Amino acid sequence: MVNLVINGKSIQVEENTTILNAAKALKIKIPTLCYLEGVNDIGSCRMCMVEVEGYPSLVAACNTKVREGMVIFTESDEISKSRQMMLKLILAKHRIHCFSCEKNGSCELINLCRDYGVDTTPFEEENKGKEGVIIDSNPFLQYDETLCIHCQRCVGACANRAGRYAIVTVRNGRENAIAAPFGKDWKESLCESCGNCANACPTGALISKNRSKYRIWQTKKVLTTCPHCATGCQYYLIVKDNEIVDVEPFDGPSNHNRLCVKGRFGSFDFVHSSERLKYPLIKNKETGEFERASWDEALDLVASKFMELKKKYGSESLAGFACSRSPNEDIYMLQKMVRTCFETNNVDNCARVCHSASVAGLAMTLGSGAMTNPIYDITNDVDCIMLVGSNPEEAHPVVGMQIRKAVDRGTRLIVVDPRDIGLSKKADIHLKIKPGTNVAFANGMMHVIIKEGLADEEFIKTRTEGFEKLREIVEEYTPQKVSQICHIKEDMLIEAAKMYAKAKKAPIIYCLGVTEHSTGTEGVMSMSNMAMMVGKLGKEGCGVNPLRGQNNVQGACDMGALPGDFPGYQKLKNKEVLEKFEKAWNKKLNPNEGLHATEVFPASIEGKIKGLFIFGEDPVVTDPDTNHVIKALESLEFLVVDDLFMTETAKYADVILPGVSYAEKEGTFSNTERRVQRVRKAVTLEGEMRLDTDIFIDLMNRMGYEQPYLTSAEIMDEIASLTPSFAGISHERLDKTEGIQWPCTSKEHPGTPIMHVGKFTRGLGWFYPAKYVESSELPDEDYPILMMTGRVLYHYNTRAMTGKTPGLMEISGSSFIEMNTQDAAELGVKDGDKVKVSSRRGEIITTARVSEKVSKGESWMPFHFPDGNANWLTNAALDEYAKIPEYKVCAVKINSYKE
């Protein structure tokens, strides 16, 4: 510890603290301009100069460390003069046009000038940029050099927050000028349009183009949670006259001021889109056209039709899907409606097609199917990250940014992915495995770990069971055998196993490359097998970490939108649980487990399911084998869709109900870390859309179940009263915290950042012995190429939301297929050519992207785009335990295509 005195006040701080932070601890404010915590401390603006007794000249507080006995003054005439002089020098670089500047009202330079009484500058700067030259080819961002004060905060933000290093400094005379990558060739740059640089800029030099729509004093800010991926970034919606005009990052626990392009620029155009559904619609049976209806007409029809089908075919003929994009409270009411009114447990959510294998697999082996450790914990200070079938730079970009930074700081990285993803370039080892071979890979890793004597015997003995059985199985998976199955080099497998096992802190992070297979659950259990074998569970910086997909898919499972689970994974099969819910809901409940979402479609083709309520899902676009889904929807007697838009699925509905988006309601989302965070209402839109919870409550009452109207906060209170892992959670408490990670078992319980500490939720961890089984459809003579599917950075699933942002469409607007160079040459296909891709289930036309990104004999497609959606081709083969479809492997044929 170091003792010092600032402005006459004594303080003791840790060694290596800067003067700026020591002063902050005493609540003494030192002005700064180029400094930004964790982003930039180059000390060039000289605003933070302070006097230190005995020092010949002033020193910069932002990057000078404290020394024992220092006596510091942060204010004096000399200091003020120095700061005024510096501001005049800085102003010389800056074209003064404050009246018309977009940053007017939130410019840090002007604020400082005002504080120090500076309004003009006597200096003339030769190197001031050219007026009128604004670099603005990027759809979201623009740079005006004449306003740039060369503070380099943007450079630091791109490097240290985004981990992207897309902005560089260039020499301009005596100064370091900024080369912002937003000119004509911005598409060729590394920039991913995340806007973190613009957020760091203190002046109007580098700004979001949205800024032109408002001045800050005309707006209010609403703190909320991003509606796209489950990273759960926190940000403010900037609202002017009931319209969201911009987004500003917040220092949330998972994002720490970072955002990705979708959160920053793609999270509000869809809210105000003219394509929003505004009124209930009923399909006219004769014309097949939808006609506007009143809420009474629509709700009466929906309630009476479902009750009629129940009477005619029984309660098991009805089913409901919950929306993993909407808040916990909405999902809770949806499953309550299905259970109390449809009187069935045929309720599910799209985790079924996503991470159901994680929910099932980790529940079996560890006792809880959720991510074990927080994002910060597994990306901040760890020795090695093993990333399996996860492309976080595109799918969880703010996690990707934090992984990039970890690698910069020296964390080793093992990437296990059939493709060259962005992070494989940064990896120490990239195992470019054949798609569908995760179980063989994991068994091979464990074989090596045992052979090298790297297994954690103590952990295995005291905390787990089933090891012997597993040992027998992995014995067969020699590096030689695994290298043949997985198409990887033996020595790389051995090196990866040693690197992972020897690292002290080493999390496994995985995603759909593991789950979306007909052996997805076994793939997941193989991940927990590996972690248990080396004792890397229940510890900081370790664990088995599925990155959940949708903003609230964790919540959709937590809220009991599952055919065998009530909220909080309380088992329907457990008699006490069933009785508890019967008592609380005052209703005899159906004790039989329901169908999984992926079983509902075949069941409707067979005539077993007659009525379906789809809340915010678009399976025609997102489920495998589109023809099969359409056939299923056409087989139904009655389909209701509650959505924001006229989706492809809604077109098959009998009734469409317009719900409201995250920006128009209160509630909570649970992110991938199990962190329950608030969603807050920012705007009220014109139209007759209704809260999704009110739609369900209205329907419940019409179907004969007395359900009082509850606010979102009251619904959370009901959830807490019935769900032990949510017992301590309420909106009131969430409003005072950074969100709470369940289990949170009482009002005093702080929440649970790391799971399975000391003891697994299951008691002993269970080693699941899995043998490698091939994917259900492999390439053959007719369909010689293996096709994987997945996502790109700029679009989100169906594109229902991101597709409404013109800039995102400009950057990424149509479908493509990634092909290997050799395959393309053999087929006479060149990069950019149109190709026809067909499988046993359908065919589409798309554009070839030819490179070495995928291996020979393999290909990859996104499913976001209507012009060539991969799901016309994918295989609906299901995993045995979780019923997750095999999106990641099917066999296709590719031919060049001439229009």
Ligand X SMILES: Nc1nc2c(c(=O)[nH]1)N[C@H]1C(S)=C(S)[C@@H](COP(=O)(O)OP(=O)(O)OC[C@H]3O[C@@H](n4cnc5c(=O)[nH]c(N)nc54)[C@H](O)[C@@H]3O)O[C@H]1N2
Nearest to 79, CA basis, from 64, 62, 96, 57: 57
Residue whose entry in the numeric block shows the structure tokens 């103590």? 458
Q: Give the binding-site size for ligand SF4 (rule: CB under 6 A).
A: 42
Least distance to ligand X, CB of residue 320, Å? 13
Q: Does 435 bind Mo ion (CB under 5 A)?
A: no
**Residues 622-651 contacting ligand X, CB under 6 A:** 622, 642-645, 647
Q: In the beta sheet, which residues pair with residue 281? A: 292, 656
Nearer to ligand SF4, 165 or 313 (CB): 165
Q: Does 148 bind ligand SF4 (CB under 6 A)?
A: yes
Packed helices 438-451 and 467-475: angle between N→C axes, nearest 10 degrees: 100
Q: Which stretch binds ligand X (CB under 6 A): 77-85, 390-398, 495-503, 754-762?
A: 390-398
Report what 473 binds from ligand X, Mo ion, ligand SF4, none; CB cut-off 5-8 Å by kind: none
Cα dihedral 605, 356, 514, 844 in deg (nearest 10): 30
**Residues 413-432 contacting ligand X, CB under 6 A:** 416-419, 421
Q: How far is CA 681 from CA 171, 255, 328, 666, 871, in A?
A: 47, 21, 15, 5, 35
How far apart CA 679 and CA 739 sit, in angstroms, is 11
Q: Does 229 bind Mo ion (CB under 5 A)?
A: no
How far apart CA 640 and CA 616 sit, in angstroms, is 11
Are 743 and 724 in contact by the 8 Å Cβ rule? The answer is yes
| DSSP letter, residue 266 | S
How far apart CA 156 and CA 39 sit, in angstroms, is 5
Burial of 586 (0-12, 13-18, 19+ CB in 10 A): exposed
Strands 842-851 and 675-679, by their bridges, are unpaired
Report what 618 binds from Mo ion, ligand X, ligand SF4, none; CB cut-off 5-8 Å by kind: ligand X
- CA dihedral over 573, 578, 581, 587, signed as positive or negative: positive
Concatenated DSSP letters for 546-601? E---BTTHHHHHHTT-BTTEEGGGEETT-HHHHHHHHHHHTS----S----HHHHH
Least distance to ligand SF4, CB of residue 793, Å? 9
Q: Does 503 bind ligand SF4 (CB under 6 A)?
A: no
Report what 888 binds from ligand SF4, Mo ion, ligand X, none; CB cut-off 5-8 Å by kind: ligand X
Nearer to Mo ion, 456 or 673 (CB): 673
The Cα angle at residue 723 between residues 662 and 714, in degrees rounded to 5: 50
Q: Does 871 bind ligand X (CB under 6 A)?
A: yes
* Residue 486, amino acid: C
Nearest to 144, CA basis, from 120, 47, 261, 154: 154
Least distance to ligand X, CB of residue 849, Å? 14
Q: Does 601 bind ligand X (CB under 6 A)?
A: no
Q: Does 354 bind Mo ion (CB under 5 A)?
A: yes
Nearer to ligand SF4, 113 or 629 (CB): 113
Q: Does 360 bind ligand X (CB under 6 A)?
A: no
Nearer to ligand SF4, 93 or 434 (CB): 93
Are 581 and 568 in contact by the 8 Å Cβ rule? The answer is no
3-class SS of residue 676: strand
Q: Does 320 bind ligand X (CB under 6 A)?
A: no
Q: Which stretch binds ligand SF4 (CB under 6 A): 155-163, 371-379, 740-748, 756-764?
A: 155-163
Cα dihedral 82, 88, 91, 96 in deg (nearest 10): 140
Nearer to ligand SF4, 26 or 92 (CB): 92
Q: Does 268 bind ligand X (CB under 6 A)?
A: no
Instruction: Copy the structure tokens of residue 729.
Output: 């959670």
Packed helices 438-451 and 479-486: angle between N→C axes, nearest 10 degrees: 160
Q: Which stretch binds ligand SF4 (CB under 6 A): 196-204, 310-318, 375-383, 683-691?
A: 196-204
**Residues 273-292 contacting ligand X, CB under 6 A:** none
Report what 178 binds from ligand SF4, Mo ion, ligand X, none; CB cut-off 5-8 Å by kind: ligand SF4
- Exactly one of 44, 315, 326, 521 binds ligand X (CB under 6 A); which one? 326
| DSSP letter, residue 333 | H
How far apart CA 620 and CA 618 sit, in angstroms, is 6
Q: Does 153 bind ligand SF4 (CB under 6 A)?
A: yes
How far apart CA 300 and CA 291 sit, in angstroms, is 16
**Residues 74-103 contacting Mo ion, CB under 5 A:** none
How far apart CA 259 and CA 249 sit, in angstroms, is 6
Q: Does 568 bind ligand X (CB under 6 A)?
A: no
How far apart CA 110 and CA 87 sit, in angstroms, is 10
Q: Does 201 bind ligand SF4 (CB under 6 A)?
A: yes
Q: Does 790 bind Mo ion (CB under 5 A)?
A: no
Least distance to ligand X, CB of residue 708, Å? 22
Q: How far is CA 801 from CA 193, 265, 570, 662, 703, in A?
A: 18, 11, 33, 11, 32
**Residues 548-567 contacting Mo ion, CB under 5 A:** 549
Nearest to 391, CA basis, from 301, 560, 509: 509
Q: Does 301 bind ligand SF4 (CB under 6 A)?
A: no
Least distance to ligand X, CB of residue 537, Å? 20
Q: Give the binding-site size for Mo ion (rule: CB under 5 A).
A: 2
- Exactly one of 19, 30, 354, 850 binds ligand X (CB under 6 A); which one? 354
Binding mask 370-409 for ligand SF4 (x = CB under 6 A): --------------------------xxx-----------
Are 667 and 327 in contact by the 8 Å Cβ rule? The answer is yes
Q: Does 435 bind ligand X (CB under 6 A)?
A: yes
Are 765 and 465 in contact by the 8 Å Cβ rule? The answer is yes
Least distance to ligand X, CB of residue 145, Å? 32
Measured distance between the N- and C-terminal CA atoms of the chain, rounded to whole angstroms: 74
Residues contacting 8, CB < 8 A, separation 6+:
none
Q: Does 673 bind ligand SF4 (CB under 6 A)?
A: no
Q: Which stretch binds ligand SF4 (CB under 6 A): 4-12, 253-261, 483-491, 610-618?
A: 253-261
Least distance to Mo ion, CB of residue 521, Å? 16
Instruction: Copy the structure tokens of residue 107.
Output: 């410019």
* Nearest residue to Mo ion, scored by beta-carbon proximity: 549
> What residue ranges bind ligand X (CB under 6 A)?
229, 323, 325-326, 350, 353-354, 388-391, 394-396, 416-419, 421, 433, 435-436, 438, 511-513, 516, 549-550, 615-619, 622, 642-645, 647, 659, 661-662, 692, 788-791, 793, 795-798, 800, 863, 870-871, 874, 887-888
> What residue ranges bind ligand SF4 (CB under 6 A)?
141, 148-154, 157-158, 162, 164, 166-167, 178, 181, 191-197, 200-201, 203, 205-206, 226, 228-229, 231-233, 255, 259-260, 262-263, 396-398
